A and B are shown apart, each in its own frame.
Chain A
Amino acid sequence: MHQPSTDAPHDRIQTCAAMTATSDPVANWASLFSTAKCNSFDPQTAVEGLSLVIPNANRAWFWQTCLEFGWLKPSYPGTSIFWGEVTLENLLAGCQAVFGIPNMTPYDRPLDDDSLRARADDAPIADSDTDWTNTFLWWLQPARLQHHVQQRPQGFVFIAISVIVGRTLFVVANSCRSIDRDIFRPLALGVDQLQCTGTIERAGRHVQRRPLRDLDRCHAAGPAVSHCRSPDDHHVLEQCLAA
């Protein structure tokens, strides 16, 4: 779950000055939240705010946190001087609620390059509703489901070159995480598989293969196809995919 911004001082020195200002540690902590009329400590309110698809930097950041960076912040007993009851599952529930991502799987252990490549290459990504987050090497995070890609917030850049060999569309892109198969649709007719090499991920070494089935389903919806291009309109997208 995204943490709301507060009026707290931002750097360590200011924060520590506030936390040690008086002999009452609770009052000191509360002083970090003292200027707002009221503070929302309600996760549902956070979900509602993050669900707004107006230009929303928090939503864009949360998307990247959930699905690209894995930059969630759980806290387990004994791992810090703070409370230890913020589980990754709690936080992933926010990702699921805000973006409609089902069955996210926390993958909270280190991965080396080889195991990541193997997982990206071999996992039947579009055959499963499973996604991953919190990889140690977050910049190597494997692909997402196509319909997740189509929900992504605005503002991403996509640069790619591509060639079709047989029934496979080979792509070299700045990031395989940013692939929008709508872009490739004119090229992808009759293509069964997309193989992407993301230059950002690993200087051309990180290869992902994805079936194109979900996109085919989307475009089979006919007139609704234009709506499928709306990355943030989840309901339209669902109708489109369900068609």
Chain B
Amino acid sequence: MVQGQVPERRRCVGGALGPGVRQRQYFGWFSTAAADQPGCVSAVQQGVASISQMLGTTNGTQQLQQMFRSCKPITSDNSWYFKFTLMGAVGASDQMDNPPDWPLNAVRPSIDAPSGWEEVKPYASAKH
């Protein structure tokens, strides 16, 4: 890994704990984060192309409904949300607890520790 990329990656992998990338680049980071997994980025690209093609036809759309177990028909009105959900399932995986930094594991002791707990306890027990 090139030195200097690590902080960027850590910021992104930290996800909601410390988002440091522009929102327009949220899904863009996946191709960088997943580059260490052989064939992953190209598989996603092929999937995007194939699904786009299938959504262009009635038969293809019906096929997608079955494959993805859609509760309701996928239509032109909700196809953006279908894609959004698919993107989320894959594109958000880079901000979970991933090696090599395991950011959530790293953060948790500071919350679990007695001193940390005293800080967050009022938040946990607050009732409006």
Tell me the A residues contacting B by CB distance below 8 Å: 1, 3-4, 6, 8-17, 19-20, 25-30, 32-34, 36-46, 69-76, 79-83, 85-86, 88, 90, 108, 110, 134, 136, 138, 154-157, 159, 231
Contacts and interface: CB of A to CB of B under 8 A. Distances in A.
Q: Tell me which of B81, B98, B126 has the highest count of chain A C-beta atoms within 10 A of its own C-beta.
A: B81
Q: Tell me which of A12, A14, A37 has the highest count of chain B C-beta atoms within 10 A of its own C-beta.
A: A12
Interface in B22-53: 22-31, 33-34, 37-41, 43-48, 50-52
Interface residues of B, number: 62
Given A6-B89, A90-B80, A13 B99 contact: yes
Interface of A is mostly: loop
Given A43-B81, A83-B48, A33 B89 contact: yes
Given A33-B69, A82-B87, A110 B28 contact: no
B113 interface: no
Contact of B27 (A29, A82, A157, A231): A82
Contacts of B68: 29-30, 33, 39, 41
Contact of B69 (A11, A14, A36): A36
A70 B48 contact: no
Contacts of A110: 22
A48 to B, nearest CB: 13
Nearest to B74: A41
